[in-house]
Amino acid sequence: MRPSRATGPDARPADARLLVTAFGRFDGGPNCSETLLERLSFEAGELKSLWGGPVRFALLPVVSETAEQELRSALDVARPTHVLLTGQAAGRMHVSFERVARNHRHLAVPDEGGFAGALGPVREGGPAERVATWPDLDGLAAALSADGVAARVSEDAGAHLCNQTLYLALEAAEAASPRFVTTFLHLPLLPEQVAANVPAAARHENCFALPLDQMTRAVKRILIHTRRSLPTGLSLS
Q: What is the pLDDT of residues 29-70, one digit of tens each?
A: 899 999 999 999 999 999 999 999 999 999 999 999 999 999
Choosing from 68, 82, 162, 171, the catalytic residue is: 162
What is the pLDDT averaged over residues 212-227? 96
Tens of pLDDT along 114-163? 999 998 999 999 999 999 999 999 999 999 999 999 999 999 999 999 99
Taking the alpha carbons of 146, 55, 135, 211 in that order, is the dihedral positive or negative?
positive
| Residue 104 identity (one-letter amino acid) | H
Report the SS3 class of residue 164: helix
Look at residue 183 and tell me whether its pLDDT is greater than 90.
Answer: yes
- Per-residue confidence at 199, pLDDT binned at 50, 70, 90? confident
Q: Which residues pair with 129 in a beta bridge?
A: 102
Q: How close are the terminal C-alpha atoms of the chain, in Å? A: 18
Check 34, 68, 98, 171 and give the catalytic one.
98
The domain defined by 13-232 carries CATH number 3.30.590.10: no
Confidence of residue 14 (pLDDT cuts 50, 70, 90): low
Predicted confidence at residue 10, as pLDDT, reads: 37
Q: Is the pLDDT at 228 greater than 90, yes or no?
A: no
32 given a catalytic annotation: no
Coil, strand or helix at 81: coil
Task: Confirm whether 162 is a catalytic residue.
Answer: yes
CA 118-35-96 angle, 5° bins: 60
Per-residue pLDDT band for 9 (boundaries 50, 70, 90) equals: very low
What per-residue confidence (pLDDT) applies to 204?
81
Strands 82-88 and 181-187: parallel
Residue 12 is predicted with a pLDDT of: 43
Please identify which of the residues 94, 171, 186, 207 carries the catalytic annotation. Answer: 186
pTM for this predicted structure = 0.90
What's residue 202's pLDDT?
Answer: 74
